[in-house]
Amino acid sequence: MYLDSYLWVQCVEHTEETLSYLFFDCPFSQACWLFLGIHCDLSQDFLHMVLQARQAFGNSIFREVLILAGWGIWCHRNNIIFNNGVTSFSFWRSCFERELKLVTLRVKPVLKDKINCFLSSLL
């Protein structure tokens, strides 16, 4: 498929959008992971990077946080492209928190408590 541009819309660096760049290398996505306390060692291959990040995160809700943070980055990207949105950390954060709160409606009470504790720990 031909697009007018394959540059990543959230960055001023005019870098080609790849999955790796979109979710991990971009300064915006790095700020998202840092906010959540997830360190991504970009020198490793994807699997080892995620395994190391999970171990360092030290919380059993890592999978939920990882998936919803990535989903939020993707939705934010689409908002910029299709709705002429602007790069906004607060937009991403509100999307992430809203989606994580929705997860609490479907999980066991022990996981719900961990998610709520994690959400309350975010500044």
Q: What pLDDT is recorded for position 81?
A: 86
Helix, coil or strand: residue 104: coil
Q: How many domains are there within the chain?
A: 1
Q: What pLDDT is recorded for position 70?
A: 98
The percent of residues in the chain predicted with pLDDT above 70, rounded, is 89
Q: What pLDDT is recorded for position 109?
A: 97
DSSP label at residue 61:
T
Of 26, 23, 30, the closest CA to residue 10 belongs to 26
User: Considering the domain boundaries, does residue 6 fall inside one?
Assistant: no
Q: What pLDDT is recorded for position 17?
A: 80
User: Considering the domain boundaries, does residue 32 fall inside one?
Assistant: yes
User: Considering the domain boundaries, does residue 13 fall inside one?
Assistant: no
Interatomic CA distance for residues 20 and 46, integer angstroms: 9
32 vs 20, higher pLDDT? 32
- pLDDT per residue as tens digits for the range 27-61: 999 999 999 999 999 999 999 999 999 999 999 99
User: Considering the domain boundaries, does residue 9 fall inside one?
Assistant: no
User: Considering the domain boundaries, does residue 55 fall inside one?
Assistant: yes
User: Considering the domain boundaries, does residue 114 fall inside one?
Assistant: yes
Summarize the confidence of residues 93-103 as an average pLDDT.
97
Domain that includes residue 75, residue range: 19-121
* Nearby residues of 121 by Cβ (< 8 Å), 6 or more positions away: none
User: Considering the domain boundaries, does residue 72 fall inside one?
Assistant: yes
